[in-house]
Each structure stands twice: as structure tokens, then as C-alpha cells.
Amino acid sequence: MISTTTVEKADRLQASLAAAPQRLLIDGRWVEAASGKTFSTFNPATGEVLAQVARGGPADVDLAVSAARRAYESPAWRQMNAMDRTKLLLRLADLIERDAEELAVLECLNNGKPAKLTRLVEVEGSIKTFRYFAGWPTKFGGETLPVSPRGGVRILNYTTREPVGVAALIIPWNYPLSMAAWKVAPALAAGCTVVLKPAEQTPLTALRLGELALEAGFPEGVFNVVTGFGDAGAALVEHPGVDKVAFTGSTEVGKAIVRAAAGNLKKVSLELGGKSPQIVFPDAHLGDAAAAIAQGIFFNQGQTCTAGSRVYAHRDCYDRLIAAVSDHAAKLKIGNGLDPDSDFGPLISQEQWDRVSGYVEVGSKQGAKLIAGGRRPPHLDRGYFFEPTIFADADASMRIVREEIFGPVLSVLRWTDEDDLIRQANDSDYGLSAGIWTNNLRNAHRAAAALQAGTVWVNCFNLVDPATPFGGFKQSGWGREHGRQAMEMYSETKSVWVNLT
């Protein structure tokens, strides 16, 4: 049963979205795109148009970057003391909390994932991220260093941290509000000004976040939002007025960004794809492992950069593990995310549906054994729904094992020898995350040390927290979000030498 209040909220939101096109936020004002163009954004659960949104392009990016530059140099922001920045970030977190239900429903409508997950992951996660980074302005400073000059000269040497400047934040559609928070919160905490470019599929919560930032009292131009397509992102990355680009998305676009940022050598941080292994030792608690493995791949319909898409199960537990994971998959309730019982929503778009279904075909053709899913759920005839899918008997040469599918497709492989297992798990261009399932401390630490991944989870999976660094080895990215490392990414270090003699 769909809850009436959620449906009423969704109806109200849809009516207000239909009433007028969504505009860009530039310099504290809501404006149309310079071209006057708009584009449609959709509800993936129905395929229906949800809103018209301003299609920002290079001219709008230029205005937004100039506004961000002016704001960056204005005393109102540049000289704002650390505690006042903390207060603004806390106020923004409070406003997200005030509007939590509306944001959760809006995200459900625009992204498709179940509202019970948008409440938890997008909204609560964003509140937590803003509150965490709100603590940093008063704690993020330099140090005094014991330098050793020659000739009896006495020196005071200290470092300061300064904001890097104007930051372009380019985010994907899979966790729209969270990804915005992950970037906006540390950037503002460090004292940058920002231009946020949400993905074309999911622009709506980024715009609401911009509105709340205005209400919180951030000075005009500190937080700008330019909606549009990849050309708006590309214009940001090329713009000489941008000092830093933080990007989450595909490895392919990440590489294009690195090339385009070379013009003025922008600082670049990248959070890209993954093909995360989950390795199961024969001594693992299989019930726990199976539940987390199902969750690790089917959460968010597999559209997660850390999705545990390759499972390496020891031959002694291989069959039992597959049976248990399949049981979990079969129990997932697939449906419209407004239904409080839904665990599993649609994919983001027809394009993504075609991509996932193409991989299922390739997997079968290359000899993997399809044991669950692989198709549209028969009871849902519209929207971009795709069943949780499991392949057994996969091997290292298969494309479903090597490439990021970004959908609910799990490949299960069998292992016998630990050295070979680790070699296979590391045999990937990606290195974002990995999971280990074992009750033996030595197995856990040996594997954690050997796996090439930015995050290793032992007897758990997909836990994230703003206090701990998140990012990838190899082609999964550059830099780390969260924690002190995020503050470092949005700042420069200055070393000051003072002659005291």
C-alpha cells in the first residue's frame, strides 16, 4: 500500500514542478538559461516528464563562474570568521532536516529509488555530511615547523591553509543529493565558492539545495547551480576562472576532465567507476555474507560506484552462498519508490536499461549461467525496471566480470587458492572498494593488506561516513572525499618563513 501522505506530497510536488520551468541559481538569483532553452527531466518509475529545467550552457557557466569569483573575493565570504562559516553550514543542515520529507519524495520522483532509501541515504546522509563538515572551519589550520636554516639565522616557519578558490562540482545521477553534499559541504567549509552541475537526469534536489543555501544565509554567489547537459560540465572544466574541479561519474568522462583541466592546471579530484570484489572465505558466516552481498549489489538497483559486482566464493561454500544470495534477491520487492514496501526501484533511464540488458546478453553468450533475473519484471509494464540478476560460473575473462555494468547484475566466481584469488580480485583497472567475509582474523588482515582498493570492508559492506576517507586506487579516481582529506582537496597550503634575527 502506498502511503497517502507520501502520495499527497508527491502530487503537490508534481503540480508545483509542472507549473513553471526550474531555473538556474546564479549570484543569488533564479534565472533562465541565456539561450532560453529548457530540457525535460523524468520520473524513471513511469517514464513521464516531471519538470522542465533550464538548459545551462557555456554562457551561463561563464556568468556563474564570474559570480563565484566575485563572491570568493568579497570580504563577506573571504573574511568571514571560521565560527560563522560553521554556523551557516549547521543552518543549512537544519533546513535540510526541516524539509527532509519533501526532499526525500522529490529525490524518489526524479531518481526512482525507494523513498525509504532516499530518506536514509540522500537526506539523512546529507544532513550528517553538512554537520560533520560544519565542524571543520574552526579546526582546520596549519602547523609550526622546526626548520634548520644555516648560519645562526632564527626563523619562524608556519603553514596556513587557504581555500583553493572557485570550485566546479560535477555530480552524477545515482545519489544526487548525497553527491552534492559530499562536495558542497567540504568546499564551503574550506572557504571555496562553488558552481554545482548536477546530472541531466536528476537536477531537482541540487536546485532545492541551492534554495536552502540561500535561505541559510550564504552570501550571494557563494553557491551557484547550473543545470544542463555534459556541455555545461565541459564548459566548467575548461573555464579559466575555475580553480578546482571535483567530479564523480564515469571513468571515460573523468579522463576527458583531466585533459580539459590542463589549460590552467586546475586541481582535479575524481571519483570514478568500480568493479568491487567481495571475497568469501570458507569459514565466513554465510547468512551474513549472503545478505550483505545481495545488498551490496542490489542496493540502488546496482547503480552504485562501490557495488560489489564480483563475488569470489570459496569452492566449499560456493553453492550454498549462491542459493542464499538468490533467496535474498527473490525477496526484494520491486516497484514504484513511493510505495513504502518497495526495496528496489527502476533504473535511471532507458539508456541505462539497454546497457544493463546488453550486459546480460553478453554474459550468457560468454558462457556464464543466468540463475536469476535478467529481464523486466513481468508485473511492471512501464518505467525502467530490471530484475535483480545473478550469474553463476563466471570467469575472469568475461566482460560481465571485467566491466562496470552499473546495474543489478552479480557475477559469482569460484576460488580454491588464496594467492590466485587475490591476483584475480586485483586484476581490474578499478580499485574503489572490496569486501572480505571471514571469521578468521588472519585471513581478514592478510586480504585487507593485499587488496588494491581505497576502501576495504570486513564482514560488512557499503558503509560510508563523512569522517573516513572515500576514493579509489587505480582508475577509480584521484583524491579522497570525506574527512580531513576532503578539506585538503579544497585548500592550498602556504608556507611562511619569518626571519627573527
Q: For residue 58, state whether it binds ligand NAP (rule: CB under 6 A).
A: no
Bridge partners of 48, per DSSP, are 43
Output DSSP code: residue 261: T
Report how far residue 407's alpha carbon sits from residue 303's, in angstroms, rounded to the nearest whole number. Answer: 5
6-13 contacts at long range (C-beta below 8 A, 24 or more positions apart): 6/105, 6/115, 6/338, 6/340, 7/338, 9/101, 9/102, 9/105, 10/105, 10/108, 10/109, 10/338, 13/102, 13/105, 13/106, 13/109
The number of beta carbons lying within 10 Å of the beta carbon of residue 38 is 18
Interaction residues for ligand NAP, span 186-215 (CB under 6 A)? 197, 199-200
State in angstroms the smallest separation of the CB of 274 from ligand NAP: 7
305 is catalytic: yes
Which residue in 112, 165, 273, 296 binds ligand NAP (CB under 6 A)?
273
Which residue in 174, 342, 411, 455 binds ligand NAP (CB under 6 A)?
174
Report how far residue 204's alpha carbon sits from residue 210's, in angstroms, rounded to the nearest whole number. Answer: 10
Report how far residue 451's alpha carbon sits from residue 460's, in angstroms, rounded to the nearest whole number. Answer: 16
Q: For residue 234, state whether it binds ligand NAP (rule: CB under 6 A).
A: yes
Which residue in 122, 220, 339, 404 binds ligand NAP (CB under 6 A)?
404
Q: For residue 453, state whether it binds ligand NAP (rule: CB under 6 A).
A: no
Q: How wide is the angle at C-alpha 129 spanned by C-alphas 125 and 135, nearest 5°?
A: 150
97 is catalytic: no
Q: For residue 170, state whether it binds ligand NAP (rule: CB under 6 A).
A: yes
Which residue in 195, 204, 272, 413 binds ligand NAP (CB under 6 A)?
272
Indicate the residue type of 153: V
Select from 142-150, 151-159, 265-273, 288-296 the region that touches ligand NAP (CB under 6 A): 265-273
Catalytic-role residue among 271, 387, 404, 481: 271
Q: For residue 253, state whether it binds ligand NAP (rule: CB under 6 A).
A: yes
State in angstroms the smallest separation of the CB of 351 from ligand NAP: 8
Catalytic-role residue among 108, 192, 305, 317: 305
Which residue in 248, 300, 424, 443 binds ligand NAP (CB under 6 A)?
248
Give, for 189, the enclosing helix (H) or strand (E). helix 176-190
Which residue in 7, 69, 82, 229 binds ligand NAP (CB under 6 A)?
229
State in angstroms the smallest separation of the CB of 404 from ligand NAP: 5
Can you say whether the dihedral through the CA atoms of 248, 227, 122, 4 is positive or negative? negative
Report how far residue 39's alpha carbon sits from residue 26's, in angstroms, rounded to the nearest whole number. Answer: 18
Question: Across 363-499, where does the E strand assignment appear?
Answer: 369-372, 389-392, 409-415, 430-431, 433-437, 455-458, 473-474, 477-478, 491-499
Query: What are 346's three cell numbers?
Result: 527502476
| Residues in contact with ligand NAP, shown as a per-residue x/- string from 304 to 343 under the rule CB under 6 A | -x--------------------------------------
How far is C-alpha 73 from the geometric centre of its chain's CA atoms? 29
Question: Residues binding ligand NAP: what is the number (CB under 6 A)?
Answer: 25
Select from 67-75, 243-251, 282-290, 371-379 the region that touches ligand NAP (CB under 6 A): 243-251
Interaction residues for ligand NAP, span 69-128 (CB under 6 A)? none
C-alpha to C-alpha distances, 23 to 146, 185, 248, nearest whole angstrom: 53, 22, 23
State in angstroms the smallest separation of the CB of 221 from ligand NAP: 21
Select from 19-27, 271-279, 331-339, 447-455 the region that touches ligand NAP (CB under 6 A): 271-279
| Active site residues per annotation | 271, 305
Residues contributing to the site for ligand NAP (CB under 6 A): 170-174, 197, 199-200, 229-230, 233-234, 237, 248-250, 253, 256-257, 271-273, 305, 404, 406
